[in-house]
Amino acid sequence: MALKQISSNKCFGGLQKVFEHDSVELNCKMKFAIYLPPKAETGKCPALYWLSGLTCTEQNFISKAGYHQAASEHGLVVIAPDTSPRGCNIKGEDESWDFGTGAGFYVDATEDPWKTNYRMYSYVTEELPQLINANFPVDPQRMSIFGHSMGGHGALICALKNPGKYKSVSAFAPICNPVLCPWGKKAFSGYLGTDQSKWKAYDATHLVKSYPGSQLDILIDQGKDDQFLSDGQLLPDNFIAACTEKKVPVVFRLQEGYDHSYYFIATFITDHIRHHAKYLNA
């Protein structure tokens, strides 16, 4: 599959690049960002996938998170896709910020008119890794995933639905129990229909209850002053309770004074890179 390079910038000895390609799953052109550390010049490196939150593109993480130095030091290739298909000319795709464009929710839609394009789950777990493995110096056996908010939800469900595929998972302020929060209800009813039993297949709190127990250490950072935490959009307590019951290891850190922004992410991103490097470089 042809890749078109959009940009390339030297950063901490490596290269931050953005590419465009025609996506089979999403039936549109998609962009993704990829950071190639200095180690990628001489051999294959582990791949770490970042999933961004609502309204984001592939640009938010690479310009705001400040992860490059840690990724360079630990020799990690970091991939950040866009958060939804774009320009599909679906009626209503640009009407709201929390559904449609910029809000793919990392599910495979089953409802018209979304099901033709909105297949972010398959894109992130299958098509994009195949593309990365075929075109860049990555070790396909060493792959991890993390994300923020909607992308934190995405990272958790990708890891929980694919035991053994990802060496590690972490999240910043993830939407932990979308079947019970306003964002999740809106997205899932639109993409997956009104049968709420089908929603559980994309809900981390429900998925962890049936997780088969392949080793997975989960790291979650949550800002205590996050407006979406107090608004009931994130519901981490439900997820923690389910993990505890299932004996799935999770480190949950409630960070005093921090909000939902990239300032919060930038503060703790090095911890997360280190968390993943421990498993990816083992």
Residues labelled catalytic: 149, 226, 260
Q: How far apart are CA 270 and CA 282, in angstroms?
A: 18
Spell out a b/e string for 221-236, using b for 16 or more CB atoms within 10 Å of the CB, else e: bbbeebebbeeebbbb
Q: Which residue has the tokens 């994009």?
A: 128
Contacts of residue 178, Cβ cutoff 8 Å, sequence gap at least 6: 105, 153, 184, 185, 187, 188, 199, 202, 203
Q: Which helix (H) or strand (E) holds 236?
A: helix 236-246
* Structure-token match 């992410």, residue found: 265
Six token digits for residue 269: 């991103």
